[in-house]
Structure 1
Amino acid sequence: MIPAATEDDEQAAAPGLPLVVDHVALARLYGEPLFQLPLDLYIPPDALEVFLEAFEGPLDLLLYLIRKQNFNILDIPLADVTRQYLSYVDQIRKSNLELASEYLLMAAMLIEIKSRMLLPPKKSEDGGEVEDPRAELVRRLLEYERIKLAAAKLDAIPVLGRDFLRAQVHIEQSLTPRFPDVDTNDLRDAWLDILRRAKLVQHHKITREQLSVREHMSLVLRTLQGRRFVVFEELFDVSRGQQVLVVTFIAMLELARERLLEITQAEAFAPIYVRLAYSPS
């Protein structure tokens, strides 16, 4: 149930217009309801235009009319094609005369070709047959169609590699080869092999020798000085007994812990090498 309009609502309504509660507004202008269209409303003639087909030029339109109706391009029925062509030109001439001028030039050419076909054919100077008046137009249409198909193939190509290239950044790596870290099991096996070789050379001379880890650390560093690398086994003097071997091995581990030397191995089961640690300047 719609409530009755009050006196205030009637005074607020413009004279001659129904109340908002009784009718639906056609539109709203700046928030105010509009119940009838203004009598002085001006709508430009080209405000509501719909182009069903968009052509890139006269040749494109002419080729469209021929292909759409499956006409033989080598034997164009100029009367039908010209009639349809002029119908389209009349539509665009009403709205855009500058655009229609280019199409009118082609229309004049079609009319000229048709008039030449209606005239009796003339013999050429050498007595041969005169070329078909449509021949030049057919050549232009075929050439345009080839270019249009080639452009369509180019558009089908992915833009990557055609319009832009993928950026590639080359990062120069260090020239110094980085060997993989030595596995603890390989280091243990190498040490056990040295111990087995040391047992083959045993001395029965009982002596007491003061062994210093720091002294053997210096010996190891002097052995590695000036050499790119030394095989792991060359650092141990097997003839001096197990005690010296143990101290030498502990000295080598201390140097490795203090990052004064590096223990490397090219691959699994490969020889183990020891060298001085590289310190960049």
Structure 2
Amino acid sequence: MAVLFKLQDFEGPLDLLLYLIDKNKMNIYDIEISSITDQYMTYLDEAEEVELDQMSDFIVMAATLLYIKSRMLLPKHPKPGEEVEEDPREELVRKLLEYKKVKYVSEKLNACQGESSQYCFRNKPAEIDIPESAIDYDAILENVSLKLLYDTFEQLMKQKEWEQHTKEERKIDHNILKKDTYTIEQKSIYIRNLIALEGKTTFFTICKKEMPKIELIVTFMALLELIHKKEVTVLQEEPTGDIVIKGGIVDEEDRA
């Protein structure tokens, strides 16, 4: 059974003409205008409902094809000394070639864009797709000082940034690196597994200073999410000490 195409399958009249030329294996520089016009008109007759502005473009092209066809059918007997009339298909061929170039470049750019989304440049900001969710920070840190937790995280980030600036090889910006992908769900599972194996873990255990900055941020967000869901609790005995992370609700003795 033959595949039937409708006008909605084409981006415009030039797209439809290129399809018909390729289908009939015609030379674009020597189009059989009579055959192409008949097939083009058949597509218009069989077209389903199309937006008015889009349909008008197809109708204008149909009129152009009929005009070229009529000129091709006229007898040509130039008198001595008269200039030879130019081929009436010349303008149409020029438009088709230009459209074909634009379409080719567009397809290449779309392909490059798809590939580039998997890479990022060194020292360039990378976009992270982290699902947004409404978080009540007061409820999350009800029994923990948010300032102390933030100061600890900020201290770790500053240390990581200082180490990066001390490396001379990071001056190279033109190298392309494969983007590391981390998700809050993966990091949440990692934290739960640590607590299940050891009974508890610590902030500096899950957020190591040698981690990439992106991984540190995602891990920190995963910890906040677990606190929000009350799957873990955190305790800090000293203002500058490590933060202990346990599963479930903290006992009253531990809180004291």
Higher relative contact order (CA 8 A, sep 6+): 2
Tell me the TM-score normalised to structure 2 length. 0.42
TM-score normalised according to structure 1 size: 0.38
Which structure has the larger Rg? Answer: 1
More helix by share: 2
